[in-house]
Structure 1
Amino acid sequence: MKKYLYICIATLGLTACSSDYLDTAPEVQMGTSTILSTTDNAELSLNGICRAMSQKYLDTQGMNGEGTILNWYGTFTGNDAQKSNHTSWATVWNNTYHLRSTSPYDYYPWFYYYKLVSNANGIICNIDNAEGTEADKAFLKAQALTFRAYSFFRLAQLYTKRWSDTKGSTEGIVLRIDESTGDAPVATQAETYAQIYKDLDDAIALYKQSGKSRTKFYKPGLDVAYAIYAKAALTREDWENAAKYAAMAREGHPLMSNNEYSDGFHTPNDEWIWGVFEEENQTLGYYGFYAYIGSNSSSSNCKSYPVAISKELIDQIPASDVRRNLFLVPTDAEYAECVASGRSTKTLYKRAYADYADRLASGSLIFAYMQFKLMAEFMPGGGSFPIIRAAEMYYTEAEAYCHLNQEAKAQQLLFEVVSPRDAAYAQSTKTGDDLLAEIKLYRRFDLWGEGNDWFDFKRWGDPIVRKTKAEGGSFMTNFAVTINPEDGNAWTWVIPQKETDYNGLLD
């Protein structure tokens, strides 16, 4: 019975969308209020939402829950990474698909996050009447509100304009905050962030009221709500709240050791504030997160097309920083031997297999600046991965204090997060734009490959500039593009046609 409830509840709102867009078979057959009539069942439903963050969707390889958002929408489309030797997906990663309302790449985040919202709403709207203790009901409702706030935030990052361009006056997203699946209007961007804040405020109050704490890194808790608040506030340019909640989120989450940092990023540690869990007996196989980015993955997508960091980024990081060792940084002579795409079959190739054999799958092609930071825990590309960790909160807090003209605090925070990785790093004395640029540089490097790249460049209003080897960079010609902040609808994804066809209140 428990297994049946897990499967049934976990699929609330997670069916594929076609003519039954936003409809859910279990709700129709059994009724959500019946399924969620006890806190035990509601907890199974909450487990289902966690599991939904690591599942295959839309029968499309690579669409695997949260991993897709981090890889395809955060890292590969950004400024600092490329899939070496790859050519067929350049149109996606060069940010040309986000204006195609019928494209699955435009549709996927909308589909995925509104499925999480639908599941969360089932708990939010029914838990008060469930059998169980008040503490359990408060805690489960808080977790569901956290999921909904996170989903709305991610949708706002993609489908709304840059906050600095409009200050909230432009259109936002559809705010589905109950169990109705009918027509619904688009809120303004200001209303969207107000709802995100409200959900998090309510969740924080309920977490405290419950007196309970989460026991699993992949489930939401009070610290996760704080962290999402910090991310949302930073994107909304609400510097006071960004600094406040970033500090609260990282409390109790010490930075990982250098050994942990170099361990492949698939094993949870105390620095992880929130992550996605994947175990070997439920692996996504070739659909998984690491099957697209893991240096040791046995998938051809990694062996033939390894992910590499930008030469221009890593060249700005001192050799004394231990994190540089997780990338195949060539000498000038080694880079001269590489062909235009960065591939090596000579000296750099030999060094890669000599120094990084335990981080490579047999038969992997070798490219300059390829990464060894992110590794699969089990083959072909499985393992857990972080969504938010404490280091991000340090950079968030430091960036916010820069904008608040509290530069001493920003300098100290930057020192605290960088110095454990670089013993030679001296506390910055930079101020103003120079200090902000240094914070952004280390944020880009520290969080590289973790899905922040494109999102950060969008909110900063900085252009994506990728250069070829001949131009002093390391990108293949098909990826070497410049994308200005105003290009492509100011990097704003259009509402998918599946929603406009379904929702009579949208054009």
Structure 2
Amino acid sequence: MKTRYIFTSLLSASLAVTGCQDMDTLPDGGMFGDAQKENIAEQLPERGVARVNAIFASFSQYFPNSSALGAERHNDIGYPTVMLCTDTNGQDMVSDNNGYNWTGFDLDYSDRENTSLEGQMVWNDMYSIIFAANNVVGSIDENTEDAENMFYLAQGLGARAFAYHVLAQLYQFNYFGHENARCVPLITDKNAEQAAVDGCPTSTVKEIYTQIETDLTKAIDLLGKAEQAKVTRSDKRYISLSVAYGLRARMYLAMQEYAKAADDAKNAIDEAKAEGLAIAAVDAVSAPTFNSSDETNWMWGILINETDGVVTSGICNWPSHMGSLSYGYANYSGGRQISTKLYAEINTNDVRKGWWLDAAGESETLNDEQNEFVDTYGYKPYTQVKFAPYNNVVGTTINASDIPLMRVEEMYLIAAEGYAMSGSADGKKYFDEFVKNRMRVDSNPYASDYTADPQEAVYTQKRIELWGEGLIWFDLMRLGKGVDRRGCGFPNAECIFKIEPTDDILLWRIPEAELQANKQLTTDDSPAWTLPTPVSDN
């Protein structure tokens, strides 16, 4: 059978399906009843495609929450808003709290107030994905035998699981030891209509994870069957079998189910290889990159078109805030730097040392044109030059770079940690293979670190490798690290904190508007906050 690639283009209808959801109230379902569920692929193919595309359109939107916020925020851009917030909350991404930096509230943790605009955006953005995913899941017979419908259904299940896993890690502490703690409302295609009328209480962490595991296990089964029937994704905005395994590997890692996490990471790697994907080699990351889903190490990403609102806005997009080599806010905010403490842990033979300017404000990965641009804007030492501008055009005003959500390298590091923590020697080969593809010479300077403490060694490698990709906050929380910004190079004294791992300022609050709209929530579901007290720098 000839391979069928579905979703060849993002239908304009998908934008009408998604819209800018007003999430001040709980999302209603708009589901088909059981008797009305249709074979979408055969009878109404355009409806199935539009509903699925609506999920992934909701990942990147231009001012999706302006009506709910009563304001236009230039960091209101969909899921990349969450990425910016969480990376800024941590200790590895340094920035100046000035008038051009839209993440100042994340720097000083005032984003934790339940009236904060960032808090409203994060909540709305994640439930917007869930809303769109429920529309897909609720419209397809869960026992469908049609391969395309299996693929559609897997997209809804996988995206819903992804969104709930993000929420679970933001609104409550790590899974292990907090299984019975309150988390977030669990709204699925089964209870969405009732929740819209009666409200929905918070579920426990365990209940949320049970739903995540159920959804991902079903998605993996469906994608495997669809793949056997030669139904595969057309591009990397959609969830493939490798991505579904990767999402479940993340979940099991958070649950401290280390052997399961490692096995799923291995499966993700194997499936990725079947798609022609692999760790980026040294040469591939020896210059600014990470701007296109065509890169062979990307498993999943947010695909951006030049005509998208976030792009035509000019500066209201992820590269504007993050990119040092594009045109945008970063040119005037001073950009983003790596923690000087983390930078010092990168070996001199590690190609990633060049992903940031050194102490002299230079990087051997830059060409003459890039160096001139860096000099023009006077970037400080340790500023990132990891992310290339769109089409590698230095200073471009077309910020249409794709945004990574999952890369093969992460799976190698999950396997390295998972196998080690479950007592298997297999972890070392994944760690060694990863390091080999980042060293300019044939050596592994991190080998002794892995032998001494594999979990800590992997955590360090993740902090380096995945810097700026919106992932490290989740590791910081699951490992109980807390936030210690002393000696990291933060320029604002009021943003230098040492936050203990049990301090509930690390948790996000359910927005006040949601508490008012959802009659089954109480103030106990979104407790009071105490902002952290600045400490002396080292």
Instruction: Find the counterpart in structure 2 of residue 186 from structure 1.
Output: 202
Structure 2: 5+ residue stretches without partners: 1-6, 67-72, 391-395, 523-538
For residues 192-223 of structure 1, the C-alpha deviation after alignment (integer angstroms, 9 at most, x for no partner) is 00000000111111112223221211111211
- Find the aligned partners of 1:106 and 1:492 in 2 and give their Cα distance: 11
Instruction: Give me the TM-score of the superposition, normalised by structure 2.
Output: 0.81
Measured on the aligned residues, the alpha-carbon RMSD in Å equals 3.1
2:196 maps to 1:196: no
Aligned counterpart for 1:318 among listed residues 330, 347, 370: 347
Instruction: Find the counterpart in structure 1 of residue 397 from structure 2.
Output: 379
What residue identity is the alignment partner of 2:509? V
Q: Please state how far the C-alpha of 1:239 moved relative to its aligned partner.
A: 1.2
Structure 1: 5+ residue stretches without partners: 335-347
- Find the aligned partners of 2:449 and 2:94 in 1 and give their Cα distance: 31
Q: Please state how far the C-alpha of 1:363 moved relative to its aligned partner.
A: 3.6
Q: 5 Å matches for 1:294-373?
A: 294-330=323-359, 334=360, 348=361, 357=370, 360=373, 363-373=376-386
Q: Please state how far the C-alpha of 1:231 moved relative to its aligned partner.
A: 1.0
Instruction: Give me the TM-score of the superposition, normalised by structure 1.
Output: 0.85
- Find the aligned partners of 1:349 and 1:418 in 2 and give their Cα distance: 24
Aligned counterpart for 1:477 among listed residues 478, 483, 492: 492
Aligned counterpart for 1:78 among listed residues 60, 71, 90: 90
Instruction: Find the counterpart in structure 2 of residue 289 from structure 1.
Output: 318
Instruction: Find the counterpart in structure 1 of residue 534 from structure 2.
Output: none
Question: Cα gap change, 1:150/1:13 in structure 2, threshold over 3 Å: closer, same or farther?
Answer: same
For residues 43-73 of structure 1, the C-alpha deviation after alignment (integer angstroms, 9 at most, x for no partner) is 1221222122111222321121121122222
SS of the residue 2:337 aligns to: strand
Give percent identity, aligned residues only.
24
Question: Cα gap change, 1:302/1:400 in structure 2, threshold over 3 Å: closer, same or farther?
Answer: farther
- Find the aligned partners of 1:302 and 1:150 in 2 and give their Cα distance: 33
2:132 maps to 1:119: yes
Question: Cα gap change, 1:213/1:91 in structure 2, threshold over 3 Å: closer, same or farther?
Answer: same
Q: 5 Å matches for 1:459-470?
A: 459-468=478-487
Of 311-320 and 208-217, the range deviating more from structure 2: 208-217
- Find the aligned partners of 1:260 and 1:354 in 2 and give their Cα distance: 15
Instruction: Find the counterpart in structure 1 of residue 428 from structure 2.
Output: 411
Aligned counterpart for 1:428 among listed residues 437, 441, 447: 447
What residue identity is the alignment partner of 2:171? Y
Instruction: Find the counterpart in structure 2 of residue 99 from structure 1.
Output: 112
Question: Cα gap change, 1:460/1:129 in structure 2, threshold over 3 Å: closer, same or farther?
Answer: closer
2:148 maps to 1:171: no
Q: Please state how far the C-alpha of 1:454 moved relative to its aligned partner.
A: 1.9
Question: Cα gap change, 1:165/1:380 in structure 2, threshold over 3 Å: closer, same or farther?
Answer: farther
CA contact (8 A) 1:265 1:373 kept: yes
Question: Cα gap change, 1:281/1:18 in structure 2, threshold over 3 Å: closer, same or farther?
Answer: closer
Instruction: Find the counterpart in structure 2 of residue 343 from structure 1.
Output: none
Q: Please state how far the C-alpha of 1:18 moved relative to its aligned partner.
A: 6.4
Instruction: Find the counterpart in structure 1 of residue 247 from structure 2.
Output: 228
Matched positions, count: 475
Instruction: Find the counterpart in structure 2 of residue 497 from structure 1.
Output: 512
Aligned counterpart for 1:394 among listed residues 412, 428, 432: 412
2:521 maps to 1:506: yes
For residues 152-199 of structure 1, the C-alpha deviation after alignment (integer angstroms, 9 at most, x for no partner) is 111111112222342x11112211111412312221110100000000
What residue identity is the alignment partner of 2:91? N
Question: Cα gap change, 1:403/1:359 in structure 2, threshold over 3 Å: closer, same or farther?
Answer: farther
Of 239-248 and 40-49, the range deviating more from structure 2: 40-49
For residues 7-46 of structure 1, the C-alpha deviation after alignment (integer angstroms, 9 at most, x for no partner) is 454344543426665259x999xxx979976233211221
Question: Cα gap change, 1:196/1:351 in structure 2, threshold over 3 Å: closer, same or farther?
Answer: closer
Instruction: Find the counterpart in structure 1 of residue 221 from structure 2.
Output: 205
Of 171-180 and 309-318, the range deviating more from structure 2: 171-180
What residue identity is the alignment partner of 1:267? S
What residue identity is the alignment partner of 1:114? Y
- Find the aligned partners of 1:359 and 1:153 in 2 and give their Cα distance: 42
- Find the aligned partners of 1:487 and 1:51 in 2 and give their Cα distance: 35
- Find the aligned partners of 1:327 and 1:89 in 2 and give their Cα distance: 21
Q: Please state how far the C-alpha of 1:245 moved relative to its aligned partner.
A: 1.0
Aligned counterpart for 1:254 among listed residues 270, 275, 278: 278
Q: Please state how far the C-alpha of 1:467 moved relative to its aligned partner.
A: 2.7
